[in-house]
Structure 1
Amino acid sequence: MAGTISRLMDANHVLAVPLPGTATPVTGALVYRAGADFTEDHVRAAEMIQPLLAGVEQQRQLLERWRATQAPPELPEDCRLTPRQVTVLLLLADALTASAIAHRLGISVRTVHKHVESLYRKLGTRDRVSTVLRAQEIGLLPPRTGR
């Protein structure tokens, strides 16, 4: 499989970054590169990001376990959120401004405002804080814990 990926991506070198403490199957990241092989500096940088990758994997597993224990919220058909609305809701929960959300998602600020308006309508709220609280209340967002 690695050979197929290398041919498709026109890459002739691969750097494997396994997650610490993983068993079979090994979990990690593969970085492909065309041209010169990876240098010792690249390998050291990969070693430095291993703990970060491990933390991301732990968060993914935690979210997976949390989702498995949560019953999906039953919302009326007209209240179902689109994937983009869910993404905007998650960014609202992180207290990002409309401008920051637009920049992160590569959309216009006006489009963000339209998504936020739809969230208000669908969740029966009037502002960002009550929208996030309502989403937590009905299980769309996990309850916020202290930072």
Structure 2
Amino acid sequence: MAGRSWPGSPTARLLGDLLDVDHVLGIPLPGSTTPVTGCMVYRSGRDFSDGELRLAEQMQPLLAAVEQQRQLLQRLGAPSEEAADVALTPRETTVLVLLGDALTALSIGRRLGISERTVHKHIANIYRKLGTHDRVSTVLQAQRLGLVPTAAGTRP
């Protein structure tokens, strides 16, 4: 309602009754629109300090990266039984998904906040684990195993 502040809102009363919460800090993810995606931090007692608000603002890019990672992993779906034998690490899986999106090692590194050299090390590990020697055969093998989605979103 217009003119109603947080302390008097029905949501604030409910949280106060259920969780003994006095203050809420909303941290929306950069670029989220409708529905707004982000985190809520609840606190009893004193309100959030200016320093804590600055820290929350600095955390936004980290939270956005976590959400990006979640979305990448969600795109994978359920891999085949054969995929379990491959034993890719979560980071290798993320790099593999981005390889499937035809990103360069430099772009993958920028997106994940790691060096290009580290990306190349992950790619080498992926090649070894999948028994492949180039990006195209690696992505095709990963699609066959259900490790990454196909272009149409279906498995071959």
User: Scaled by the length of structure 1, what TM-score is found?
Assistant: 0.54
The superposition leaves residues 90-122 of structure 1 with CA deviations (integer Å, 9 ceiling, x where unpaired) of 110011000001111111111000000011010
Aligned to 1:38: none
Aligned to 1:115: 122
Q: Which runs of 5+ in 1 are unaligned?
A: 21-26, 36-59
Which structure is higher in RCO with an 8 Å CA cutoff and minimum separation 6? 2
Let me know the Cα RMSD of the aligned residues: 3.8
1:76 Cα deviation from its structure 2 partner: 6.4
Change (3 A) 1:132 1:15: closer
**Alpha-carbon contact 2:105-2:120 (below 8 Å) kept:** yes
Structure 1's consecutive aligned runs of 4 or more residues displaced over 4 angstroms after TM superposition are: 14-20, 27-35
**Alpha-carbon contact 2:83-2:147 (below 8 Å) kept:** no
Aligned to 2:82: 74
For the pair 1:90 / 2:97, whether they are aligned, the reply is yes
Alignment of 1:6-85 (within 5 A): 6=24, 11=25, 67=77, 70=78, 72-75=80-83, 77=85, 79-85=86-92
Within 1, Cα distance between the matches of 2:37 and 2:83? 37
Task: State percent identity of aligned pairs.
Answer: 45
Within 2, Cα distance between the matches of 1:30 and 1:138? 34
Within 1, Cα distance between the matches of 2:81 and 2:23? 40
Within 1, Cα distance between the matches of 2:83 and 2:145? 9
**Alpha-carbon contact 1:72-1:139 (below 8 Å) kept:** yes
Aligned to 1:142: 149
2:81 maps to a residue whose letter is: P
Within 1, Cα distance between the matches of 2:131 and 2:80? 19
Within 1, Cα distance between the matches of 2:114 and 2:129? 21
Change (3 A) 1:3 1:15: farther
1:72 Cα deviation from its structure 2 partner: 3.6
1:145 Cα deviation from its structure 2 partner: 1.9
Q: Which runs of 5+ in 2 are unaligned?
A: 1-18, 42-47, 51-70
